[in-house]
Structure 1
Amino acid sequence: MTDPIRELDELCYLTAQSMTSMVTSEHFKVIKELGEGSYGKVMLAVHRKRGTPMALKFFPRRSTTLQTFLREYNLSLSFCTHPSLTRALGIFFSTSSHYIFAQQAGLYGDLYDVITSEVGVTEEQTQSVMSQLSGAVSHLHSLGFVHRDIKPENVFLCAPNCRWVKLGDFGLVRPIGTQVRAVWYDSPFCVPEVEQAKHRNKKNGEEQEKENIWMAVEPSLDSWALGILMYCVLTSSFPWDESTSDDSGFCQFRNWFNNVKQKEEREMRWNEQRYCEKTDQKIQIIEENIAIEEEVTVIVPSQFETLSTLALTLLRKLLHPLPKHRAAPNEILSYLGGAWLLKTEKEQKRREQQAQQEARNILGGGRVEEDTERERKRER
Structure 2
Amino acid sequence: MPGKQSDEEQLEVGAAENRADEDLGGLTAEELRQGQEAALALEDMMALSAQTLVRAEVDELYQQVRPLGQGRFGRVLLVTHRQKGTPLALKQLPKPSTSLRGFLYEFCVGLTLGAHPAVVTTYGIGIESTDSYSFLTEPILHGDLISLIQPKVGLPQPAAQRCAAQLASALEHIHSHGLVYRDLKPENVLVCDPACWRVKLTDFGHTRPRGTLLRLTGPPIPYTAPELCSPPPLPEGLPIQPSLDAWALGVLLFCLLTGYFPWDQPMAETDPFYEDFLLWQASGQPQDRPQPWFGLTPVADTLLWGLLDPRPRERSPVSSIQSYLGRPWRQREGETEEVDKGDGEAEE
TM bin (shorter chain): 0.7 to 0.9
In 2, Cα distance between equivalents of 1:325 and 1:117? 31
Please list, as runs of the form range in 1=range in 2, the aligned pairs for 1:268-283 lying within 5 A after superposition. Answer: none
Contact 2:308-2:315 at 8 Å conserved across structures: yes
TM-score, with structure 1 as normaliser? 0.74
Question: CA 1:322 to 1:119, structure 2 compared with 1: closer, same or farther past 3 Å?
Answer: closer
Q: Specify the structure having the higher radius of gyration (Cα).
A: 1
In 2, Cα distance between equivalents of 1:97 and 1:347? 60
- Secondary structure of 2:56's partner? coil
Question: CA 1:298 to 1:120, structure 2 compared with 1: closer, same or farther past 3 Å?
Answer: closer
In 2, Cα distance between equivalents of 1:301 and 1:58? 44
Structural RMSD (CA): 2.4
1:244 matches 2:267: yes
In 1, Cα distance between equivalents of 2:334 and 2:310? 27
Alignment match of 1:330 (pick from 298, 311, 319): 319
In 2, Cα distance between equivalents of 1:197 and 1:47? 50
In 1, Cα distance between equivalents of 2:247 and 2:213? 19
In 2, Cα distance between equivalents of 1:233 and 1:311? 12
Displacement, 1:90? 1.7
The sequence identity of aligned pairs, in percent, is 36
Query: Greater helix share, 1 or 2?
Result: 1
- Secondary structure of 1:342's partner? coil
Displacement, 1:4? 4.2
Contact 1:184-1:190 at 8 Å conserved across structures: no
1:38 matches 2:27: no
Contact 2:213-2:236 at 8 Å conserved across structures: no
In 1, Cα distance between equivalents of 2:90 and 2:145? 19
Displacement, 1:65? 1.5
Alignment match of 1:311 (pick from 291, 300, 310): 300
Aligned to 2:252: 229
1:253 matches 2:287: no
Displacement, 1:116? 4.0
In 2, Cα distance between equivalents of 1:259 and 1:340? 21
Which amino acid is 1:13 matched to? A
Structure 2, unmatched stretches of 5+, are: 1-32, 339-348
Displacement, 1:121? 1.8
Question: CA 1:120 to 1:299, structure 2 compared with 1: closer, same or farther past 3 Å?
Answer: closer
- Secondary structure of 2:104's partner? helix
Displacement, 1:240? 1.1
Question: CA 1:42 to 1:174, structure 2 compared with 1: closer, same or farther past 3 Å?
Answer: same
Which amino acid is 1:243 matched to? P
Structure with the larger RCO, 1 or 2 (CA within 8 Å, 6+ apart) = 2
In 2, Cα distance between equivalents of 1:29 and 1:171? 26
Which amino acid is 2:273 matched to? G
How many residues are treated as equivalent by the alignment?
302
Aligned to 2:142: 108
Displacement, 1:20? 2.2
TM-score, with structure 2 as normaliser? 0.81
**Deviation by residue 1:72-114 (Cα, 9 ceiling, x = unmatched):** 1111113331100112112210111110001122211100011
Contact 1:197-1:213 at 8 Å conserved across structures: no
Displacement, 1:185? 2.7
Aligned to 1:217: 240
Displacement, 1:194? 2.2
Displacement, 1:298? 5.3
Please list, as runs of the form range in 1=range in 2, the aligned pairs for 1:193-212 lying within 5 A after superposition. Answer: 193-196=227-230
Aligned to 2:329: 340
- Secondary structure of 2:93's partner? strand
**Deviation by residue 1:338-367 (Cα, 9 ceiling, x = unmatched):** 000011894999xxxxxxxxxxxxxxxxxx
Question: CA 1:180 to 1:117, structure 2 compared with 1: closer, same or farther past 3 Å?
Answer: closer
Alignment match of 2:200 (pick from 166, 169, 173): 166
Contact 2:93-2:132 at 8 Å conserved across structures: yes
Displacement, 1:175? 0.7
Displacement, 1:239? 0.9
